[in-house]
Structure formats: structure tokens, C-alpha cells
Amino acid sequence: MTIVKSVTCPVCGCLCDDIELVVEDGKVEEVKNGCAICESKFIGYRGEHRVLKPKIRQNGKLVDTTLQEAVKKSAEILANANYPILYGWSSTSCEAQRVGVELAEEVGGVLDNTAVVCHGPSILGIQEVGIPSCTLGQVRHRADLVIYWGCDPWSAHPRHVERYTTFAEGRFEGSEWKGYLQKFKAAAGRKKIKRVMKQAPVKNPPSIEPVTPSEPPQKMKKDGRKLIVVDVRRTMTAEVADYFIQVEPNKDYELMEALRALVRDQELDVNSVAGISVECLEELVDIMIGCNFGIIFFGLGLTMSAGKFRNIDVAISLTRDLNMRTKFAIMPMRGHFNVTGSNTVFTWQTGYPFGVDFSLGYPRYNPGETTSVDVLLRRESDAALVIASDPVANFPKKAVQHLVKNPLIVIDPHMNATSLMADVVFPSAFVGIEVGGTAYRMDHVPLPLKKVVDPPEGVLSDKEILNRILEETRKIKLKQVEAA
């Protein structure tokens, strides 16, 4: 039995790197410090859907084959394609991504990552107005106002609040977990009373105050860290928040603009915006201006609802405005553990973060034209390589139809919907468990991923598989040039 410390968790953009693993007989037996998702990944990665042998489609069926055969077939597909798509990348290491860029350049394809259906609008927003941001430690040490907008870290980034924001202990701001503990107890107590009331034969039961009032509660004006959640529904995070603002669906843009107007001391001539009274917004703005260090974290509730990148544009603009009055930052809650890394790698090698088109021999970027979904919808691609992702399950139906019509190569540790439709399937080692590498946290802090156990025999890393395909593709291309 060995204990491996300081393991980086390859699940979400939080990249918690304090995980301790107990490893026995080449298996992870116990996970310490991790959240539920982390634990299920480290324990449950050897699931029934694991692929151990490369597969190739013959007579309409996926059959086992050798690695050499699979590499050869993939290289043929890519070398003969005019406009292949190389998609995925967000759940693999930067080392593999670097090979990926080289491969995309070699075959003149479109290189795209999952940001295109996730935080792509955030990047477009940033390219419009910039982004005042910081690392998560800065939030931990300084933030006395944390706003989660359109995201639910309690469910999706479970340790975010504990490690980096309201419940974390910083140099200038303390943890608020004690207050929340009391609040939880009170909430549980209220529930109990309610239950008793229901059963008790009382004619006029005393009223119980609602969990969150419509106006910001008094404690919002006190010192210490404050947590606000803005969402269309009462999420798990909203339950722990000091103040929950329920915005009407698709009205985030309006609400942000109203806040911007109030930050700039303009008067609003309406009574409510996006379902929230203006008095309430005025108080909210005062809280925002009055803080020492505020931060907005936003998720897909903002990027993928009506307005898309305009929502991000206005959210960042609000943050810019607030910086005229106090210190304020904003950060996207990136999902996959290395989606930030793939944007970073693509940017330093090609200048662009996603949707990079190499068909002219140099990197070109025009979201809406060179992004994978759009290429598929225009039916322009004639092959695809998908790595560490499952577009068949996530892309629009028409895009999927075109994707599977053409030769498709999949590199993934699991069988997923996309690999079931593929022509070549490579099993790969789990990044961050069976193979090391580098990943970038949502705030662009690079962290090393550890190799904890050996991969199953014959299963290679993403990087190695890509390298072999690249080498083979170059050979075929060279032959083609010589023949010509």
C-alpha cells in the first residue's frame, strides 16, 4: 500500500491539487480530500465501458485490431482528407494538445476544442472588452463579496467555495463557514417546525419567515465575506448564499445593464428589471460598490442563454465600471479540467484559442465560420478526429449527422456515443491517473498531473497515440508528394 500525496484531480476546472490517494496492487483504493466527483473518478474510472484494444470498423462492425493497423488507418484517413476536424482536447494534457496542434497543421484541418459549445462565448466576450481577473488565491485572501452568476459550484465545482472563495481562510478575509453552519441548523430547525405545525391541530399557525427575503438582508451590510447567487432557479449554491436573486430566464443581459446604469448613478424609470425590484437592485449595487474586493464567477447560465457572448460582454463591462469605484474581478467557471489549458496551448502556438483553421497553411480564426459545429452544419469537413470528448452526444443533430457520415477517429479511454459511430477507436490512458502531464486551472495557473497507477497493458497515452498518427501521416504525405 502506498499513499500518494498532492495529486491534482483531473475532473473540473478547480484542479484541486491536495488529493491523497491510497494505492494498492496498482489500484486506487481510497481518496482523501476529494469531492464526490473526484472520488468517483479515481475509484470508478475502471468501469465496464473501458476500452482496452484498438478497434476498427469492418463490414459495418467495430472489431478489435492492432495498434499499428489502427494508426495506419487513421493516418490514411487524415492524409487523404481535404478538410478534417480535430475536436475535443479539453480532457487531456497540454503535452498531448501540443502534438494535436502539430497534427492539425500537418493535415490542414480545423482544430477546435469543447469551448465552442461551452465557454466559447466567454472568450468572444473577452476579445471584445478584455477581462479584469485574478488567480483564485487572490479571491481567497481578499474577496469580501463573491457573486456566482448562472453557475452552481455546489454541484458542478464542489470544492470551489471551500477552497477558493467564501469558506476559505485568507490573509485579509476569514472563512464564513461557521455562519453557514448556523444557517443550515436554523434551516433544518425551520423545516422541523413546519412539519410539526402540519401535524399539530393549530388553527392559525404562526408564520415562518422565508429563507431569503426579497430585499437584501441586513447582514449584507456587515463586515466579512458575503455570498450572492444569481440564477434562474434555486440551486444548491443558492441555499448557502446570503442572498439569492432569481432572475427571469434569458433576462440576464437586461439585469446586468440595469446594474451598470445604477453603478453609473443613473436613475431607472421602471419598477422592476428581470423580475427584481429596482429598490432591491439599488441596494445590491451599493453592496457591490461598498466592498473592498468583489468577484463575479459566471457559468453556462450566462454563456449559453439568450444573448450568449453579449451577456459576457456586459458582465465584463459591469466589472470594468465597478473598478472605477472599488476593486472588482470576474472569472468564467471553466468545466473540463484542462479546457483552459487547451485554449492556452492553442493560443501560444497559433495565436487563437479555439476554432483554428489551418486549411490555408497558416492559422485562421473566425468563430461562426472556422468553428467545428459550423463547419459540420455547412457539411464541409470530410473526416474527423475526436479526442477526449463526446460530440455525438452533445452537438446539434444535423452536425452529428455530417460528422458520422465521414471517416471518424476517436481517442478516448471509454466507449462513448461517438466511439460507437467511429471508424477507428483508440483506447487511451487516463490523464492524471495513468499518465502525467500538465493542466491549467480556470484561473490559468498551471498544475502538474500525476501518474498514480500504470495503464492497462498496451494502452498508450493520448500524446503517444497522436505522435504515432502524426509520424505515419507525414510518411504518407511524403509518399504522395514523391508520387506527384
Residues in touch with another protein (CB under 8 A): 5-6, 8, 17-18, 94, 98, 102, 105, 123, 126-138, 140-142, 163-164, 169, 171-172, 292-293, 320, 323-324, 326-327, 329, 343-344, 347-353, 358, 360-365, 438, 440, 444-448
Minimal distance, residue 327 CB to another protein, in Å: 3
Nearest-angstrom CA–CA distance, 426 and 241? 44
Task: Give 355's contacts (C-beta < 8 A, 6+ positions apart).
Answer: 110, 111, 112, 116, 120, 365, 366, 367, 370, 371, 372
**Shorter beta-carbon distance to another protein: residue 296 or 399:** 296
Minimal distance, residue 129 CB to another protein, in Å: 6
**Shorter beta-carbon distance to another protein: residue 140 or 468:** 140
**Shorter beta-carbon distance to another protein: residue 18 or 380:** 18
Minimal distance, residue 358 CB to another protein, in Å: 7
Name residue 410's beta-bridge partners: 386, 425
**Shorter beta-carbon distance to another protein: residue 132 or 275:** 132
Minimal distance, residue 134 CB to another protein, in Å: 4
Minimal distance, residue 144 CB to another protein, in Å: 10
Residues 157-174 as b or e (16 or more Cβ within 10 Å = b): bbbbbbbbbbbbebeebe
**Shorter beta-carbon distance to another protein: residue 235 or 343:** 343
Minimal distance, residue 375 CB to another protein, in Å: 18
**Shorter beta-carbon distance to another protein: residue 181 or 324:** 324
Minimal distance, residue 344 CB to another protein, in Å: 6
Minimal distance, residue 59 CB to another protein, in Å: 38
- Using DSSP, state whether 471 is helix, strand or coil: helix
Minimal distance, residue 228 CB to another protein, in Å: 20
Nearest-angstrom CA–CA distance, 7 and 38? 11
**Shorter beta-carbon distance to another protein: residue 148 or 395:** 148
Residues 315-336 as b or e (16 or more Cβ within 10 Å = b): bbbbbbbbeebebbbbbbbbbb
**Shorter beta-carbon distance to another protein: residue 183 or 325:** 325
Q: Where are the strands (E) in 10-128, listed by range?
A: 19-24, 27-32, 55-58, 61-64, 85-88, 110-113
Nearest-angstrom CA–CA distance, 229 and 232? 10
What length is written for the chain?
484
**Shorter beta-carbon distance to another protein: residue 127 or 394:** 127
Nearest-angstrom CA–CA distance, 104 and 365? 14
Structure-block grid coordinates of residue 138: 487572490
Structure-block grid coordinates of residue 470: 502524426
Minimal distance, residue 71 CB to another protein, in Å: 23
CA-nearest of 83, 144, 151, 162 to 122 is 151
**Shorter beta-carbon distance to another protein: residue 244 or 352:** 352
Name residue 297's beta-bridge partners: 148, 331
Cβ–Cβ contacts within 10 Å for residue 292, how many? 13
Contact (CB, 8 A) for 427 and 52: yes
Nearest-angstrom CA–CA distance, 230 and 221? 18
Nearest-angstrom CA–CA distance, 44 and 48? 9
